[in-house]
């Protein structure tokens, strides 16, 4: 097995350098995937495929699983239960917009709101603990009061063993760096970092290193446009590179010493295998493949590709392509 493991900062957890993100479920959802009802029939009909995918991942040594939506937790929970592997898996959970829920509720309900979110996810995981609970920073409704409340509660839950570590996910590395500098309240961070989006290396990773905060990288393949994999912008396939665009992205990220694990979403076994095979390639990475894909993505040709993708049968791809054409930038 070629999988390597890194210690995830102060959590002491040994995480596989390749993990898995949870967004493969977006295929059944619309581009505003946080707001849509799932298709139950489709969900359960396709669970067998995801069980197989998770088994393949576990067999390859992958032990880190990020989740956001309840569907992601439920599906992972079913697969881990089927293979009896919950104890071998490191699972990160989070709540969707918890600060908004606090804003819309009386203070007397706040504790229950957060506890209910966590309990619901633990139930879906058939477990009484989560390895990491991620708080998204900054959520639109961020206030210091909500933040302090949530962190204090999470610390309490950590003391009880209900969660093992407190993490933060962010699209704004500078903001998160500031919170860590001020409060030193996170054990891990999950941040977008890739060949196009390099800010975190200078802004966030040094403070993480100083405080022994573990670094998880999200969005490794979908850049420079949110939700659109860079592989769609590979033009000249006659040039032989050792790494595919997805593999090159993963390799480039993991060559950054501060990164412990990277969590690409995968929609198929083939994608998973391609990502796993990154570690069988012994040759050094030729970054030109990334340079070329990025150049195409940012050119007029890239715009043409986005226009084609805007007609893609998968709603997530067409939705994100339209947003990219509209100049949408993720916050
Ligand atoms: N908490 C947060 O705020 C937050 C936000 C964003 C992401 N995340 C986490 O980070 C994870 C990853 O982020 P992401 O899904 O936005 O972006 P990503 O992992 O960079 O991109 C995933 C997409 O890349 C494509 N892909 C995967 N393997 C491939 C391969 N070998 N070859 C070609 N294409 C491949 C797939 O799309 P196709 O099948 O279309 O090719 C897949 O949907 C998420 O699942 C989630 O766990 C968290």
DSSP letter, residue 134: E
Phi, psi (deg, nearest 5) at residue 276: -65, -40
Phi, psi (deg, nearest 5) at residue 30: -90, 175
Nearest to 69 by CA among 93, 103, 43: 93
Domain count, the chain: 1
DSSP letter, residue 104: T
Please report the pLDDT score of residue 1 as a whole number.
Answer: 63
Residue 82 makes CB contacts below 8 A (sequence gap 6+) with: 51
Q: How far apart are CA 174 and CA 142, in angstroms?
A: 15
**With 0-12 CB in 10 A as exposed, 13-18 as middle and 19+ as buried, what is 242?**
middle
13 pocket-lining for ligand 1 (C-beta < 6 Å): no
- State both tokens at 23: 């967004």
Q: How far apart are CA 310 and CA 317, in angstroms?
A: 7
266 pocket-lining for ligand 1 (C-beta < 6 Å): yes
Please report the pLDDT score of residue 126 as a whole number.
Answer: 97
Please report the pLDDT score of residue 42 as a whole number.
Answer: 79
Please report the pLDDT score of residue 189 as a whole number.
Answer: 98
Domain presence at residue 80 = yes
For residue 264, the CA-to-ligand 1 centroid distance in Å is 5
Nearest to 134 by CA among 98, 184, 92: 92
Residue 143 makes CB contacts below 8 A (sequence gap 6+) with: 99
Please report the pLDDT score of residue 31 as a whole number.
Answer: 46
For residue 53, the CA-to-ligand 1 centroid distance in Å is 15
Domain presence at residue 54 = yes
- The DSSP bridge partners found for residue 262 are 18, 217
Domain presence at residue 44 = yes
Name the residue with the closest Cα to ligand 1, atom 13.
Answer: 219
* CATH code of the domain covering residue 228: 3.20.20.100
Domain presence at residue 330 = no
Domain presence at residue 298 = yes
57 pocket-lining for ligand 1 (C-beta < 6 Å): no
CA atoms within 13 A on the CB side of 120: 14
Domain presence at residue 281 = yes
pLDDT by 10s per residue, the chain, length 331: 689 999 999 999 999 999 999 866 656 554 445 456 677 887 888 899 999 999 999 999 999 999 998 889 999 999 999 999 999 999 999 998 899 999 999 999 999 999 999 999 999 999 999 999 999 999 889 999 999 999 999 999 999 999 999 999 999 999 999 999 999 999 999 999 999 999 999 999 999 999 999 999 999 999 999 989 999 999 977 778 999 999 999 999 999 999 999 999 998 899 999 999 999 999 999 999 999 999 999 999 999 999 999 998 887 888 889 999 998 765 4
Nearest ligand 1 atom, CA 94: 1
Query: Quick check: 188 and 161 in contact, CB under 8 A?
Result: no
User: Which residue range forms the structural domain that includes residue 279?
Assistant: 11-325
Domain presence at residue 316 = yes
Domain presence at residue 161 = yes
């Amino acid at each position: 097995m070629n999988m390597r493991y890194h210690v995830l900062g102060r959590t002491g957890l040994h995480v596989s350098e390749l993990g898995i993100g949870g967004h493969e479920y977006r295929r059944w959802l619309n581009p505003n995937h946080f707001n849509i009802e799932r298709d139950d029939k489709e969900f359960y009909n396709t669970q067998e495929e995801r069980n197989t995918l998770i088994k393949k991942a576990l067999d390859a040594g992958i032990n880190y699983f990020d989740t956001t939506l309840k569907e992601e937790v439920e599906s992972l929970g079913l697969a881990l239960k089927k293979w009896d592997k919950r104890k071998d898996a490191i699972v990160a959970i989070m709540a969707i917009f918890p600060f908004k829920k606090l804003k819309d509720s009386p203070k007397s309900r706040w504790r229950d709101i957060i506890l209910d979110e966590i309990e619901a996810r633990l139930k879906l995981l058939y477990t009484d603990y989560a390895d990491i609970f991620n708080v998204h920073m900054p959520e639109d409704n961020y206030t210091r009061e909500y933040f302090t409340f949530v962190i204090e509660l999470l610390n309490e839950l950590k003391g009880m063993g209900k969660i093992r570590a407190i993490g933060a996910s962010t699209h704004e590395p500078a903001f998160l760096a500031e919170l860590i500098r001020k409060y030193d309240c996170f054990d891990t961070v999950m941040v977008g970092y890739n060949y196009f989006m390099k800010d975190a290396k200078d802004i966030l990773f040094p403070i993480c290193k100083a405080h022994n905060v573990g670094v998880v990288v999200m969005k490794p393949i979908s850049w420079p446009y949110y939700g659109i994999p860079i592989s769609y912008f590979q033009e000249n396939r006659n040039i032989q590179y050792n790494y595919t665009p997805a593999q090159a992205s993963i390799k480039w990220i993991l060559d950054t010493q501060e990164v412990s694990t990277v969590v690409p979403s995968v929609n198929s076994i083939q994608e998973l295998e391609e990502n796993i095979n990154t570690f069988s390639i012994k040759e050094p990475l030729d970054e030109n493949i990334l340079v070329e894909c990025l150049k195409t993505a940012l050119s007029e040709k890239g715009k043409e590709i986005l226009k084609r993708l805007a007609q893609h049968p998968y709603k997530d791809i067409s939705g994100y392509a339209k947003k990219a054409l509209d100049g949408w930038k993720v916050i």
